[in-house]
Structure formats: C-alpha cells, structure tokens
C-alpha cells in the first residue's frame, strides 16, 4: 500500500520552489551593487551637464 501524501506540504514545497525561481530572476533583473549604481548616477549627471553646456542660449 502506498503512503498517503500530505497535500499541504506538497503545496508549500512547490510555493517555495517558485519563490526561489522568482528571487533568482529578480537578482538578475534588479541586482546591482551600490558602486554600480553610484557609477551610473555619476555618468548620467556628467552626460546631463555636458548636454547643458552645449545648448545655445536663445
């Protein structure tokens, strides 16, 4: 005779596996270090200033 399956444990295990997959996707999509964020912010600011300098006054 087979062992009975606890459906709650099965459901929770499946939910945990789905959450791990979602977390991995989020790490790839949003995971940037503080140094990377700071560097990109500084580059954007530098580009904005360069663009402002090249504008002509009307």
Is 33 a domain residue?
yes
- Total structural domains in the chain? 1
22 falls within a domain = yes
In a domain, 1, yes or no: no
Whether 46 maps to a domain, the answer reads: yes
- 49 phi and psi angles, rounded to 5 deg: -65, -40
Structure confidence at residue 21 (pLDDT): 97
The answer, as to whether pTM is greater than 0.75, is: no
pLDDT in tens, 1-58: 788 889 999 999 999 999 999 999 998 888 888 899 899 999 999 999 999 998 887 7
- Give the domain extent around 28: 7-53
φ and ψ of 14, to 5 deg: -65, -40
Quick check: is 30 in a domain?
yes
In a domain? residue 23: yes
Burial of residue 19 (CB within 10 Å: 0-12, 13-18, 19+) is exposed
């Amino acid at each position: 005779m087979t062992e009975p399956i606890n459906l709650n444990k099965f459901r929770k295990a499946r939910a945990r596996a789905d959450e791990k997959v979602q977390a991995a996707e989020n790490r790839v999509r949003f995971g940037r270090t503080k140094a990377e964020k700071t560097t990109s912010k500084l580059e954007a600011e530098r580009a904005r200033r360069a663009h402002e300098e090249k504008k002509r006054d009307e």
